[in-house]
Amino acid sequence: MAFSTRLAGSVITVGLALTPLSGLAQTSGQAPKSKQPAPKAQQARPQNGGPVTVQLKPEPAQPDWTKVCGKDERTKAEVCYTTRDFVTEKGQRIFAVAVYDAKDKGAQKTLRVLTPLGFLVPPGVRITVDKGKPVAGRYATCLAHGCFAEAAVKDDFVTALKKGTAMNVSARNQAGVVVTFAVPMEGFSKAFDGPPIDPQVLAEQQKKMQEQLQKRSEELRKRLSSQSSNPAQTPASGQSATESSN
């Protein structure tokens, strides 16, 4: 069993760990459309079509950055990744980050992010730390819950992540609007330079996160069921999902 498979975490972190780092970019012009409504954060934008910034906060079930280490069975080298899931101010779980650090000689560090569905594949993502120099990332693959973008990063970029306040990941959605996800970096340096998480603690953390996901899924199912049985609660025709949730 591969190293990344044994270290599968939450639903989002599972994808970050399982998808090969050298995944092929999609050939279509955009990420696949989700059958579910897009997160409010992705829909909300100024009427003039200007840029949108989504302020993220840590997923409550993952209060700290988590460092996981193990051996890659292909290269026999130790690989660590420091990861965290994030939610919007409304608690919608839509974003995740992982920084991979392979101990193999000459190996590059890799930054991987998971964004919601609905963003254009070309031109990919643009990543900055605070107001630093941008790094380009490309979409590698998409799953049902989001699309993965990755970028090879150098030591100076990782140093900037450790010292920075926010990492800004920008992508262009299907309407041509640039959406920037502002990721708070507090605690990243301590986790990246510190010891990896104990496997038992990791298992407990994953269990807690899965329980939270199941609870939210059940709440959503009940809410949708209630709306379908009571048409008066359904948003009027022409009203956006963003407006109805305000």
Residues 147-204: tens digit of each pLDDT? 999 999 999 999 999 999 999 999 999 999 999 999 999 999 999 999 998 777 777 7
The answer to whether residue 205 is domain-embedded is no
Residues 6+ apart with CB under 8 A from 19: 112, 140, 141, 143, 148
Total domains in the fold of the chain: 1
Our measurement of the distance from residue 239's CA atom to the centroid of its chain's CA atoms, rounded to an integer in Å, reads 28
Range 195-214 average pLDDT = 76
Model confidence, pTM = 0.69
pLDDT at position 220? 75
The answer to whether residue 225 is domain-embedded is no
The answer to whether residue 199 is domain-embedded is no
Whole-number Å distance between alpha carbons of 105 and 167: 27
In contact, 65 and 84? CB cutoff 8 Å? yes
Range 15-38 average pLDDT = 39
In contact, 110 and 100? CB cutoff 8 Å? yes
The answer to whether residue 129 is domain-embedded is yes
The answer to whether residue 138 is domain-embedded is yes
Give the range among 33-37, 53-57, 162-166, 237-241 with minimum mean pLDDT.
237-241
The answer to whether residue 204 is domain-embedded is no
| Residue 22 binned pLDDT confidence (cut-offs 50, 70, 90) | very low
The answer to whether residue 59 is domain-embedded is yes
Burial class (CB in 10 A: 0-12, 13-18, 19+), 192: middle
> Strand, helix or coil at 190?
helix
Whole-number Å distance between alpha carbons of 20 and 218: 31
Q: For the chain, where are the E strands, in sequence order?
A: 52-55, 57-58, 66-71, 78-87, 93-102, 109-115, 125-129, 135-143, 146-153, 166-172, 178-184
**H-helix or E-strand spanning residue 15:** helix 11-18
Q: The domain that contains 155 carries what CATH number? A: 2.60.40.1880
The answer to whether residue 180 is domain-embedded is yes
Express each pLDDT in 88-120 by its tens digit.
888 787 899 999 998 877 788 999 999 999 999
Q: Which domain holds residue 35?
A: 3-192
